[in-house]
Structure 1
Amino acid sequence: MFESAEIGHAIDKETYDAEVPALREALLEAQYELQQQKRFPVIILINGIEGAGKGETIKLLNEWMDPRLIEVRTFDQQTDEELARPPAWRYWRMLPAKGRMGIFFGNWYSQMLQGRVNGDFKDPVLDQAINQSERFEKMLCDEGALIFKFWFHLSKKQMKARLKALADDPLHSWRISPLDWQQSETYDKFVKYGERVLRRTSRDYAPWHVIEGVDAHYRSLTVGKILLEGLQNALTRSSLHPDKVNAAPLPTQAVDQMNLLDSLDLTLRLDKDDYEEQLITEQARFSGLMRDKRMRRHALVAAFEGNDAAGKGGAIRRVAAALDPRQYNIVPIAAPTEDERAQPYLWRFWRQLPAKGKFTIFDRSWYGRVLVERIEGFCPPADWLRAYSEINDFEEQISQSGIIVVKFWLAIDKQTQLERFQAREEIPFKRFKITEDDWRNRDKWDAYRGAVGDMVDRTSTEISPWTLVEANDKRWARVKVLRTINRALEEAFEKSDKKAKKHKH
C-alpha cells in the first residue's frame, strides 16, 4: 500500500507556481459554496509519518482557503475532563457543523497506532478499535459528512535522510521533535500497523489517500486537488449518497397482532402506606449507592420514554429527590435546535454524557429517532432503520467506558391516558402540560405501539436492556424505576469488584 508513495514524486517550482492561483481560487469558491449550502460538514483526518509534511500542508491549506471556516483540532494527551468520559467523547464534541471544515490531527487513528506501537495493547484491541472507527465513519457519512483521510508517507531511507539533513543544519535542527527521533526507532512497527489500519479502513465512503511527503510542491498540489475534486463532486450532487436505496423491508406487525406491551399487567398497584415505605427505602438505598466509593469508576445514565401522561416527570422527580442537586443533571429532549440539526443525530446526546461519579437523566432520549421521528415522518425510513444499530453501538461504547445505562418505557392504557388528559385540562397549574400535539399523538396510538415493539426488540440488549414499567398506577411505577436503578448500580459494582480481584491475582 505504501510502495506507490516511494516513487520519488516531484513537481518543479515553475509548474507549481503556475497551477497554484487557479487551485486556490477554486478551493475558496468551493469552501464558500459549502458554507452557503450548509448541507454537510467536511472532516479531514491527517495521519502518517513524522516529518512527511503534515503540519506544513495544513498550514498551506489555511493560507489558500478562508481559515475562519476551518477548525483545526489536535488531540494530544487526554485532559482530566476527557479521561472522565468515554474515549470517543473528545471527538464527538469537536465535530464541525454542516457548512464547515474540521481538520483532525492526533485523531482516533493516531491513538490506536501509538498505543499498539508502544505495546500498550495487543492486536485484538487494535482490531476492536479499527472496527469501532469504521462504524463511526460509516455513521458520519450516512449522516451526510464528507470525509477525507490523508496518510503522509516517507520511506525509512527518506526519513533518515531528512533527519540527518536537519541535524547537520544549525539553523533548522530545532525542527526535529522528540517524536521524530522516537519514530525513527519504531518506524518498521509503525508502518506495519499503519498498513493494517489503512487496509481495513479504506472504504468507498471514506477512502485513504497516501501522499508521498518528500517534495513539498507535489504533496501540496496533490492534497489541494483531491480536496477540490471531492468538494466539487459533493456540492453538485443532490445527495451525498445518490445511490443509497433502502432495500431492507420495513418492520411488519406480528401475524397474531400481539405486541410486547400486551404482556404487561397494568393492574399492578401500591396502596399509599406501602408506597411511602418502599419509596423512602429505595431512595435511601439509591442515595447510599451514589455515594459509594466504587461510583468513582462509573457514571449513570437513565433514559425515560413513555406514552404521553405516563408519569415520566413524577418518576424523575422521585429519583432526583434522593440526591444532592450537584450529583445529577436532567436533560429534557425537545425538537432539535438549529445547532443540533447541523450535527449528526447522536451529537447532542454524546455532549451531555456525565463524568465519572455523576448521573444524567434524559427526559426523552436518543430513541426519538425510532419513535416520534419515525411516526411523524421527520426522517426517511433509511435513517430510522439504521438508527437501531447506531444506538446499540452508542450504548455499547459508553457501557464499556463504565457508564451504567438504564432505560425505561412507562406504559399506560388508552383509557388511563384519556382520564389524565382530561384531568390536566381541568387543573389550572397542570394545563401547560397538555398540548394540541398530545391529542394528535393519541390518534396515532397503534402506530406508536408498533414502533415501541420494534424499538424494544432491536435495542434491548444484554449490555443495555429495556425496563417496561406498568404505569397505570403512578406509585407502582415510581418505586419500580428506583428499584431498577438500584439493582443496576449494585450489579455494576459487583462486576467491577470481581474485575479488580482478578487483576490483583
Structure 2
Amino acid sequence: MFAAAELGHALSKEQYKTAADTLRQKLLNMQFQLKERGDFPLIVLLGGVPTAGRGQVANLLLEWMDPRHIATHAFSAPNDEERARPPYWRYWRVLPPKGKMAILFGGWYSGPMWEQLTSNPDSVSYEHEVGKIIRLEKMLSDEGALILKFWLHLPKEQLKKRLKKLANDPRTAWRFDDSDLWFLDHYDEVMASQQDLLLRTNLADAPWRVIESTDERYRNITIATHIVEAIGHHLERESVRQKRVDAAPLMPSIDGVRLLDKLVLDTDLDKAHYSEQLEVLQGRLNGLTRHPDFKQHSVVCVFEGMDAAGKGGAIRRITAALDARQYRTVPIAAPTEEERAQPYLWRFWRHLPPHGQITLFDRSWYGRVLVERVEGFASRADWMRAYGEINDFEAQISTANVIVVKFWLAISNEEQLRRFKEREAIEYKRFKITDEDWRNREKWDAYIEAGSDLIERTSTQVAPWHLVGANNKYHARLEVLRHLCERIEAALAATAKKRKNNAK
C-alpha cells in the first residue's frame, strides 16, 4: 500500500499559490454548503509517520476554512475519566454533528496501532480491535457520515533526515523524543504492521488515502483536493440518492407463536410478603454496591415494555436502596435537535456511567427496533441493521466491565386498560397518561410483534433479557431487584476468581 502512495513532486511557489488560492475558495464553499445543508458530518482522520506533517495539515485546514465549525482532537493515553468507561466512549463523545467537521489525530486507530507494536497483544485481541474499527466505520457510514482517512507517509531515509534536523536545531529539539527514534529503528516492521492494518480497514465507504509527504506543498494540495472532491461527491449523493427503505423481511416463527404471547403475566403475591422481601432485597443490593470490587464495575439497567407496565415503579425501588451520589436515571423520549444531528447510538454512549456507578435507562436504544419500527420513523433497512449495532454496542461495554441488565416488563391488554383509567381518575397520576398512550393501544399487536423480535435477536450471553410478567406490580418489583442482585453477584464472583487465578 505504501509503495502505491501518491508520489510527491516539488511544486514551485507560483504553482502552489495558484492551486492553493483555488482550493481555499472551494473548501470554504464546500464547508458553507455542508453547514447549510446539515445532511452529514465530516470526519478527517490523520495518521502517519512522525514528522510527516499531521499538525501542519490540521493547521492549514483551520486556516483555509472557517475554524468555528471545525473541532480538533488528539488522543494520547486515556485519562482517569476515560479509563473508567468503555474504550470507545472517548471517541463517541467527540463525533461532530451533521453540518460540522472534526479532525482526529489517530482517532480509534491510536490504540491498535501502538499496542500491536509495543505490547505484542495476542492475535485474538488484535482481531477483536480490528473488527471493532470496521463495525464502527460501517455504522457511521450507514448513518451518513463522510469519513476521510489520510496516512502521511515518508520513506525511511527522509524520516531519518528530518529527525536529525529536528534534534540538532535548539529551536525544534523539543519536537523530538525517544518514541520518534524508536519508530526509526523499527521502521521496516512498523511499516509492515501498519500496512496490514490499513489494508484491512480500507473500506469502500471509508478508504485510506496514503499521501507521500516529502514535499509539503504537494502534500497540502493533494489532501485539500481529496477533501474538496469527497465533500462535493457526498453532497451530490445525499441530494439525489434514494434512502434505502427496504430490506429482507424478518421470518416469522415456525409455529407462528410470538415470544411475548407465552409469558406468564399473573403471579400471586400479597402486600405483606412483598414489603418483607422488598426490604431484604434492597439491603442486599445496597451491600453489593458497597463491595470493594464494585469499583471495578459499572451497571447499566435497561427498562422496556408496555406502557404502564411499571417501569418507573421498579426503578424507584432500585434507587431507594442506593446512595443518591451513586446512580443516575435517564428517561428516553423523542430525540432532541442535538441528538438528531448525531449517529443514533451517540446519545446513549454519552450517558454510560463510570466504574462504581449505576445508570438506569427508562426506555433505551431499543426505540429504533420498537417505536421507530412500529411508527415508521425508521426505514426497514435502518431498524434491521440496528439489531447488529445494538448487540455490538452491548458487547463492547460488557467487555469493559459494564454489567448490562435488561428488563422487559409485560402486562396484558386488559390490565393496561385498567391502569390507564386509574391514572385518569387519580389526580396525582394524571401526568402519567397522554393521548399518545391511548393511540399506542391501537397498535398493541404491532408492539408485541416488534418486542418479541427484538428480544429474540438481542438476548445475548453477555446481555440477556429478563422477562417479567408484571400484572402484579409487587411481583415485578421483587423480580427486578432479585435479578439485578444476581447479575452483580455473578460479576463480583468472576472478579474475585480472576484475582485468585492471577495470584497463583
Asked if Structure 1 and Structure 2 have the same fold, meaning a TM-score greater than 0.5 normalized by the shorter chain, the answer is yes
**1:108 CA drift (Å):** 1.5
- In structure 2, the residue matched to 1:220 is 220
1:336 paired to 2:302 = no
- Larger mean CA deviation between 392-401 and 378-387 belongs to 378-387
- Do the aligned partners of 1:116 and 1:123 also contact (CA within 8 Å) in 2? no
| 8 Å contact from structure 1 (residues 43, 147) kept in 2 | yes
Report if aligned partners of 2:6, 2:210 keep a CA contact under 8 Å in 1: no
Q: For the Cα contact (< 8 Å) 1:6–1:155, is it kept in 2?
A: no
**Letter of the structure 1 residue corresponding to residue 151 of structure 2:** W
1:166 CA drift (Å): 3.2
> Which residue in 1 is equivalent to 2:487?
488
Residue 112 of structure 2 corresponds to which residue in structure 1? 112
Q: What per-residue deviation string (whole Å, max 9, x for no partner) do you get for residues 376-412 of structure 1?
A: 1111111110000000000000000000000011000
Q: CA deviation at 1:77?
A: 2.1
- Aligned-residue offset at 1:175: 3.8
- Tell whether the 8 Å contact from 1:370 to 1:455 is kept in structure 2 after alignment: yes
409-418 vs 102-111, greater mean Cα deviation: 102-111
User: Partner of 1:347 in structure 2?
Assistant: 346
Aligned equivalents of 1:300 and 1:58: distance in 2? 39
TM-score normalised according to structure 1 size: 0.97
**Deviation of 1:239 (Å):** 5.4
- Seen in structure 2, the aligned counterparts of structure 1 residues 227 and 273 have a Cα distance that, compared at 3 Å, is same
Deviation at 1:327, TM superposition (A): 0.9
Amino acid at match of 2:402: I
Is contact 2:303-2:408 (8 Å) kept?
A: yes
Q: Is contact 1:269–1:475 with CA below 8 Å preserved after alignment? A: no
| 1:132-186 Cα shifts (integer Å, max 9, x gaps) | 0000010011111000000011111111122223334455444434432232223
Over residues 171-226 of structure 1, what are the superposed CA-to-partner deviations in whole Å (9 max), with x where a residue is unaligned?
Answer: 54444344322322232232121111101000111000001111001100000000
Task: Give the deviation of 1:244 after TM superposition.
Answer: 7.1
Q: CA deviation at 1:12?
A: 2.5
User: Does structure 2 retain, via aligned residues, the 8 Å contact 1:41–1:146?
Assistant: yes
Which runs of structure 2 are paired with 1:54-453 in the superposition (5 Å)?
54-119=54-119, 121-238=121-238, 242=241, 245=244, 248-254=247-253, 256-453=255-452
1:10-55 Cα shifts (integer Å, max 9, x gaps): 3222211111111100000000110000110001111110011111
**Whole-Å separation in 1 of the counterparts to 2:102 and 2:218:** 23
Measured on the aligned residues, the alpha-carbon RMSD in Å equals 1.6
Is the Cα–Cα contact under 8 Å of residues 7 and 211 in structure 2 kept in the other structure? no
Q: Which moved more, 1:135-144 or 1:165-174?
A: 165-174
> Partner of 1:3: helix, strand, or coil?
coil
CA distance in 1, matches of 2:200, 2:252: 38
Number of residues paired by the alignment?
504
Amino acid at match of 2:126: L
Give the distance between the partners of 1:350 and 1:447, measured in 2 at CA: 28
| Residue 15 of structure 2: aligned partner | 15
Query: Does 1:476 pair with 2:475?
Result: yes
1:56 partner amino acid:
Q
1:497 aligns with 2:482: no
Is contact 2:42–2:146 with CA below 8 Å preserved after alignment?
yes
Deviating more after overlay: 5-14 vs 77-86: 5-14
> 288-297 vs 169-178, which deviates more?
169-178
User: Could you list the per-position Cα deviations for residues 237-292 of structure 1 after superposition, in whole angstroms to 9, with x for gaps in the alignment?
Assistant: 2359x487466422244354311112211121211121111111111110000101
Distance 1:161 1:118 in 2: 24
Asked if structure 1 preserves the Cα contact closer than 8 Å seen for 2:30 and 2:231, the reply is yes
Q: How big is the shift at 1:493?
A: 1.1
Distance 1:252 1:446, change over 3 A: farther
Question: Residue type of the partner of 1:381?
Answer: R
Read off the aligned partner of 1:293 and give its amino acid letter.
Answer: P
Conserved 8 A contact 1:45-1:107: yes
Label 1:259 to 1:265 Cα distance change in 2 as closer, same or farther (>3 A). Answer: same
- C-alpha distance in structure 1 between counterparts of 2:19 and 2:296, whole Å: 56
Bigger shift: residues 462-471 or 123-132: 123-132
Opposite residue 25 of structure 1, the aligned amino acid is Q
Q: CA deviation at 1:503?
A: 1.9
Q: How does 1:445-464 map to 2 (within 5 A)?
A: 445-464=444-463
Q: Give how far 1:300 is off.
A: 0.5
Alpha-carbon distance in 2 for matches of 1:122, 1:258: 45
1:188 and 1:268 map into 2 onto residues whose CA distance is: 68
Distance 1:196 1:247 in 2: 35
8 Å CA contact 1:305, 1:363 repeated in 2 = yes
Q: Which consecutive unaligned segments of at least 5 residues does structure 2 have?
A: none
Q: Provide the C-alpha distance between the structure 1 equivalents of 2:379 and 2:231, rounded to a whole number of angstroms.
A: 25
Tell me which moved more, 36-45 or 251-260: 251-260
Q: Any conservation in 2 of the 1:305–1:312 contact (CA below 8 Å)?
A: yes
Q: TM-score, normalised by structure 2?
A: 0.97
Q: Deviations over 1:426-460 (max 9, x none)?
A: 11111111111000000000000000011011000
Runs of at least 5 residues in structure 1 that lack an aligned partner in the other structure: none
